[in-house]
Amino acid sequence: MIHPTAIIDKNAAIDQSVDIGPYCIIEGNATIRKGTRLLSHVIIQGRTEIGENCTISPFCSLGGPPQDISYKEEDTTLVVGSNNTIKEYVTMNRGTTHGGGVTTIGDNNFIMAYAHIAHDCTVGSNIIMANCATLAGHVAVADSVNFAGLCAVHQFCKIGKFAFVSGLTGVPKDVPPFMIAAGSRAKLYGLNVVGLERQGFSREEISKLKKAYRILFRSALPLGTSLKIIREELDGENIKELVRFIESSQRGICR
């Protein structure tokens, strides 16, 4: 169903089951797959792909040009997965050529009002971004991360899976998986125990991660020494993921 006030580019590829509400504008080579709904006043620009069964609320702007002064109208892309709920005034920008050319959003995400996902971000699945949560360019977010309201992540940062970023938090460095980050310049405040329990982590898994946290951040040992102890004394995929994330960090981690 397409409302008569909607304006749709002839080059757009839209599944016949898509519902497009009043005053929506779809420009360029956009692709919208089955079951997705644009409620009203949504703007989709450029080479933007939207998956199945998404709900996009009024005044969202998806696929706009990247806010990067080096951008020269190159043909870049925004890819949004399936089953995403995108609330009012959310903005998502296309990629840049020096950042890979694509901004990617996974599946089953809940993106609340006024959130912003900048150019060249890679955002996983099962993520919650509360009101006014903001990702600068080139940010990588793993699956099952929660962002509280009014937080901001610096460009090129990485957020590990199952992490929680508190409200009013500025994130200047990488946030390791499974952790809570908070503060005007984010520091770690322990394991995201409540989130892990909700995700079905066992007591044994949580206990191992707590021990790893104490060794890493409460022992006053050098980081390399802490990682060596963790590899020798603890096992399991979650421990391996934590160690891999820290060892691969380029910006450094929040401590």
List active site positions: 119-120, 137
Contact 12, 6 (CB under 8 A): no
How far apart, in Å, are the Cα atoms of 44 and each of 4, 73, 94?
Answer: 17, 16, 11
Of 123, 117, 157, which is closest to residue 142 (Cα–Cα)?
123
Number of H helices, E strands in the chain: 4, 27
Of 56, 9, 15, 43, which is closest to residue 29 (Cα–Cα)?
9
How far apart, in Å, are the Cα atoms of 19 and each of 35, 39, 47, 172, 198?
Answer: 7, 8, 20, 40, 34
